[in-house]
Amino acid sequence: MVLVSVEVNGSSYQHEVEPRTLLVQYLRETLGLTGTNIGCDTSSCGACTVLLDGESVKSCTLLAVQADGAAIVTIEGLSGPDGALHPVQQAFHEHHALQCGYCTPGMVMAAVSLLAEEGQLDERGVREGLEGNLCRCTGYHNIVRAVLACAGDRAPAGAVDAVGAVGAAGGAVGAVGAAGGTGAVAS
Amino acid sequence: MTVGAGTFSGTPVRRVEDPDLLRGAGTFVDNLKIDGMLSLAFVRSPIAHAAIRSVDVTAAREMPGVVGVYSAADLDLPDAPALMALHPAAIRPSLAKGTVNFVGDPVVAVAAETRAAAMDAAELVEIDYEPLGVVVDMEEALDPGSPAQFESLGGNVVIGLRTGSEDPLAGADVVVRGRFENQRVAVVPMEGSAIVVDPTGTDFDLTVHLSCQMPHVARSALAKLLGMDPKRVRVIAPHVGGAFGAKHLSAEGVVASKLALELGRPVKWVETRSENLVAMAHGRGQVQYVELGLRRDGTFVGMRCRMIGDAGGYGGFGGILVLGQTKLMAQGVYHIPAIAFDVAIVTTNTTPMGAYRGAGRPEAAAFVERIVDMAADELGMDPVELRRKNFIRPDEFPLTTVMGADYDSGDYGAALDEVLRLADYDALRREQDERRRRGDRMQLGIGVSTYVEVTGGGAEFSEVEVHEDGTITVKAGTSAHGQGHATAFSQIAADQFGVPIEQIRYVQSDTALVARGRGTGGSRSVQLGGTAVLQTSKLVVERAKELVAELLETAPEDVVVTGDGRLGVAGVPSKALAWGEVARVAAERGAPLLVQHDTERAGSTYPFGAHVAVVEVDMETGRVVPIRHVAVDDCGVIVNPMLVDGQVHGGLASGISQALWEQFLYDDDGNPITSTLAEYAMPSAAELPSFVTAHTETPSPLNDLGAKGIGESATVGSTPAVQNAVVDALSHLGVRHIDMPCTPERVWRAIAAAQAGTLPDPWREPRSEMAGFPREGAAGEELERGAESVNL
């Protein structure tokens, strides 16, 4: 057994753990923080994404002992002290960016990290920035809209309006996209 | 919530489900901890087909923390549950008996104090296998000499049947022919299968927390299999991390339940992803031989279909879909006067087949829309014009098709007009012409599909109760797993009671709290569950009106729902009683404001739509990038447009992904080669475009809401639109077909063959065995009816 000391969501913890314990197992089973989900066993899906010293990591790719001395934020630690939703959580709600909710904690944490890292974000930047997080319900459409809404004034001009369109170059293809759908949901 | 009372329906109310899920307070099965709970791990077959010579569990039993290690011989296990049995001989044991039939077949179960202990011990189980012959390819399975799974079947053909017209191509000027593969895909809900079985509770003999779509169906199945009184079994579907047709009581769930009873301790089993990709039922998996006869002017004369459906190991129930929904929807949105539909359903040494988003309908739309595009190419017609020429017209509904489907309502031309307008189809064609003229490396493909599918059918239960504090509890027998029923059904009820949505408490997915139900599948929930909520709410309001009429000394017909949470007398604003007060008086009189109600059985509804997909094809590498997708889907009257578009988005991603990327693959020995998410090509945000979605609203006459299903429609419509777009990008080279998934290799090979003048014929004759199948008789009709009743 190995001693691990971590700060999680502002509280300090020390536990003896088996060396092979994954960080996600430590969070879920030892600390009881079950908001972080497990969606695969190949570090492909990102459901287990948390912030480690401010940066997003897949907590299944890390042993708990590797997190020794680190400060971790999980989905449970994201909302404010008054319980108010974090702006990214709020944007996911407003834009219907979650359905079954299983990928959501990891997706939200990845988005928080992406928004903190990138000075400017357009649709392509959001899509590539979230490449490590899989969702089977939403087709990503509303997740991208929610994150772009958070990017707000840091987005290049037109990035949010262009969500209905596509990044294809010029011609009819680009122009037509801006027409949008008559039945599209108002944001 | 600023929307006024009485006007929730039809508006994009934000979801009441979200806050818990966003805060990480989900109740997914694996989050459940119960004192004394054991963890279960399975030892699965690494061989596709083998006889089990011996099982040695000695070393595993000696591992610390291990409570028991069991093979089929150690437990008196019932067979695995099947939503539908393909054939009396096609039985699957819950743990393999004598032979294993696919890689992933569970052979031994290990129960231990922790998950790690169970998995460690599972590594030490030694099983001696004697390999048997393997059949992976569903067409090779037609060979009577192929290695059989069930000796009594004398081969791998479970059902072989010829149905419909004897000579459907008679009178055709032109016949276009294609052999199409509708490949096997994995379902991949982000949460895999999961179950906790607790035999220690006092109110029930067994309490089961199951990640599933249909808790009441699971309870009935489990009680029957274990010989228990269903009333003593409680099944709860907590938060479910996606299902898409594949989450039901499984073989592993039966083993977990049996062991919980034997050991008298709670048992948890949570699938790993690598297990999930081989153990959870796969979807699709058909080879389709299609011939369409036309007159020179484009009028369809008849169609001949010869279809092979892969049922996978043990004859998974998904194999029947080719004879159920695929056959039912073979006519699509068109007049096709004569159709022959011959079917072979076969077992193979692969993961058993089940239902996946669309379950038989995407497979139908795929071949119909593909052969129509091939016909347009053959006749030199625009694919849009050929479709229009053959549409069933709006004034022809209701209509019974040649395939026996009772189409309820539709306006296929309206959806097509709208999608062409939104996509600016003519401008796209001009752009395509320009790129072709310039010889651009990135060529444009424009794919059109017009589809109809089948949803719902049957009855559903609801219960509504008004409490003395003015809150209203609404229950329905459907069971959401991401769709947003709590929001949509609360909207429906809030409108009837004239109260804010916050006053509604929605309850579902627990057999102890909801008296009965059929769960969620086949896009049935709003049209059946929502209608049940609507009717039950109206019954409660009627009962309340009678009481209020008596209390306020007026006639029941003069009592109105005021819209501010009260019942009052029309035209006399001062005379009104709050819902809570009415509930209090009702309770005092011994007749609480509570109604349980079942809807009458309703027929299936037929949503439809039109999609335009635009792709860019890199002529040097064969890579396809989907750059636009415009979807017009008609699901009748819409309760919450935000939720509907959410369903469309997810459905589009599934369909686009099948057309371009996803495919579950085996090598010739039956070894899966896409059994982790590192290998299985499920798309991320980076691969997909944003979508343009819109709706026409053609009400269904078959339910009070006028609603049709929407959970699967976009998958049905998008898959052929994208495949057609890829072929369209290369049609000027003479390419007429590329099978799904349209991978860079396949596209590149098609381009290279076109340039070399060696394009393969998209047609070949199916194996001769199919000609020898019996024509449809009484047995076949029975099977078909059964297939239609399974809507997933």
Among B1-15, B180-194, B479-493, whose mean pLDDT is lowest?
Answer: B1-15
Q: What is the distance in angstroms between the Cα of B437 and the nearest Cα belonging to chain A?
A: 14
Whether residue B4 is contained in a domain is answered as: no
- For A:121-150, CB contacts with B below 8 A are 123, 126-128, 130-145
CATH classification of the domain holding B63: 3.90.1170.50
CB-nearest partner of B693 from A45, A93, A184: A184
Question: Is 90 exceeded by the pLDDT of residue B5?
Answer: no
Q: What is the DSSP letter of B424?
A: T
**Chain B residues touching residue A180 (CB < 8 angstroms):** 692
Q: What are phi and psi of B239, to 5 degrees?
A: -55, 130
Q: Please check whether residues B636 and B721 belong to one and the same domain.
A: yes
- Phi/psi at A44 (nearest 5 deg)? -100, -30
A155: pLDDT confidence band, cut at 50, 70 and 90?
A: low
How far B765 CA sits from the closest chain A CA (Å)?
Answer: 37
> Which residue from A minimizes the CA distance to B434?
A171
Give a yes or no: residue B443 inside a domain. yes
Whole-angstrom Cα distance, residue A85 to residue A99?
A: 17
Please give the torsion angle defined by the CA atoms of residues A132, B715, B135 and B370, in that order, rounded to the nearest 10 degrees. Answer: -120
Cα B624–Cα B412–Cα B243 angle in degrees, nearest 5: 60
Which residues fall within 8 angstroms of residue B76, CB to CB, at 6 or more apart?
A: B258
Are A136 and B484 an interchain contact pair (Cβ–Cβ within 8 Å)?
Answer: no
Q: Per-residue confidence at A157, pLDDT binned at 50, 70, 90?
A: low
Do B592 and B633 reside in the same domain of the chain?
no
Task: Count how many residues are written for chain A.
Answer: 187
* HEC assignment per residue over B628-669: EEEEEEECECCCCHHHHHHHHHHHHHHHHHHHHCCCCCECCC
Residue to substitute from A50, A61, A173, A187, interface B, most B β-carbons within 10 A: A173
Give how far A87 is from chain B: nearest CA, Å.
11
Decide if B685 and A133 are in contact by the 8 Å CB cutoff.
yes
Q: Is residue B78 part of a domain?
A: yes
Query: What's the pLDDT at A56?
Result: 97
Name the strand (E) or helix (H) holding B396.
none
Q: What pLDDT, on the 0 to 100 scale, is given for residue B574?
A: 87
| pLDDT of A158 strictly over 60 | no
Alpha helices in B380-448, H assignment, sequence order: 383-390, 412-423, 425-438
A-chain residues near B28 (CB < 8 A): 34, 37, 102
Cβ of B430 within 8 Å of Cβ of A172? The answer is: yes
Check which CATH number belongs to the domain holding B577 and give it. Answer: 3.30.365.10
Whether residue A166 is predicted with pLDDT greater than 50 in this model: the reply is no
Query: Phi/psi class of residue B43: alpha, beta or left (left: φ > 0; alpha: ψ in -120 to 50)?
Result: beta
How many CA atoms lie less than 13 Å away from B731 in the CB half-sphere?
A: 24
pLDDT digits (tens, 9 = 90+) for B45-94: 999 999 999 999 999 999 999 999 999 999 999 999 987 888 888 999 99
Nearest Cα residue in chain A from B428: A172
Q: Give mean pLDDT, residues B93-108.
A: 98
Give the pLDDT of residue B6: 65
Using the structure block, give the residue that is written with the tokens 């589009």: B652
Q: Is the pLDDT of residue B3 over 90?
A: no
Asked if the model's pLDDT at residue B790 lies above 60, the reply is no
Average pLDDT of chain B? Answer: 96
Please state the rounded mean pLDDT for residues B221-241.
97
- Measured between beta carbons, the chain B residues lying within 8 angstroms of A99 are 242, 482-484, 646, 650
Last residue of a domain, one of B560, B578, B598: B598
Give yes or no for residue B194 having a pLDDT over 50: yes
**B475 and B451 assigned to the same domain:** no
Residue B779 has pLDDT above 70, yes or no: no
B156 domain-assigned: no
Same domain? For B220 and B301 the reply is no
Nearest CA in chain A to B240: A100
B274 and B316, same domain (yes or no)? no
Sign of CA dihedral B322, B323, B327, B329: negative
Average pLDDT, stretch A113-139? 96
pLDDT in tens, B403-419: 999 999 999 999 999 99
The domain boundary residue, chosen from B259, B279, B299: B279
| The pLDDT value given to residue B272 | 97
Whether residues B775 and B722 fall in one domain: yes
Is the pLDDT score of A147 beyond 80?
Answer: yes
B444 and B465 within one domain: no
The answer to whether residue A106 neighbours chain B at the CB level (below 8 Å) is no
| Total beta-carbon pairs less than 8 A apart between chain A and chain B | 244
HEC string of B37-67 equals: CEEEEEEECCCCCEEEEEEECHHHHCCCCEE
Last residue of a domain, one of B232, B264, B279: B279
Would the pLDDT of B456 be above 90?
yes
The pLDDT score that the predictor gives to residue A119 is: 83
pLDDT band at B777 (very low <50, low <70, confident <90, very high): low
Going by pLDDT thresholds of 50, 70 and 90, the confidence category of residue A173 is very low
In a domain, residue B146? The reply is no
* Residue of B21, B189, B628 with shortest CB distance to A104: B21
| C-alpha to C-alpha distance for B713 and B361, rounded to whole angstroms | 9
Residue B167 located in a structural domain: no
Whether residue A184 lies within 8 A of chain B, CB to CB, comes out as yes
pTM for the whole structure: 0.95
Give the pLDDT score at B672: 98
E strand or H helix that includes residue B94: none
Same domain, B287 and B388: yes
Contact A147, A89 (CB under 8 A): no
Number of domains in chain B: 3
Residue B139 placed within a domain: no
CA angle B636, B639, B640 (to 5 degrees): 120
Question: Are B479 and B594 in a shared domain?
Answer: yes
Q: Please give the Cα distance from B371 to B373 (Å, whole number).
A: 5
pLDDT of B717 higher than 90: yes
Domain containing B207 equals 35-132+193-240+247-279
Extract the tokens encoding B505: 């408490």
B615 and B489, same domain (yes or no): no
- Reported as a single tens digit per residue, the pLDDT across B529-583 is 999 999 999 999 999 999 999 999 999 999 999 988 999 999 988 899 999 999 9
Range with the poorest average pLDDT among B355-364, B499-508, B565-574: B565-574
Nearest CA in chain A to B692: A181
Domains, in order of start, for chain A = 2-77 (3.10.20.30), 87-165 (1.10.150.120)
Write the pLDDT tens digit of every residue in A39-94: 999 999 999 999 999 999 999 999 999 999 999 999 999 988 888 999 999 999 99
Q: Is A57 on the interface with B (CB under 8 A)?
A: no
pLDDT of residue A1: 94
One-character DSSP codes across B137-179: -TTGGGSTTSPPS-GGGTSSEEEEEEEE-S-TTTT-SEEEEEE
Percent of chain A with pLDDT over 70: 81
pLDDT confidence tier of residue B782, bands split at 50, 70 and 90: very low
CB contact under 8 Å between B431 and A173, yes or no, is yes
Answer with the residue of higher pLDDT: B638 or B779: B638
pLDDT of residue B7: 83
Yes or no, beta carbons of A179 and B641 under 8 Å apart: no
Among candidate residues B147, B153, B71, the one with its CA nearest the CA of residue B349: B147
How near does any CA of chain B get to the CA of A19, in Å? 13
- B255-299 pLDDT, tens digit each: 999 999 999 999 999 999 999 999 999 999 999 999 999 999 999
Question: How far apart are the C-alpha atoms of B373 and B531, rounded to whole Å?
Answer: 38
- Does residue B206 lie in a domain region? yes
Q: Measuring CA to CA, which residue among B519, B532, B534, B537 is closest to residue B711?
A: B519
**Do B349 and B448 fall within a single domain?**
yes
Is the same domain home to B497 and B616? Answer: no
Is pLDDT of A160 > 50?
A: no
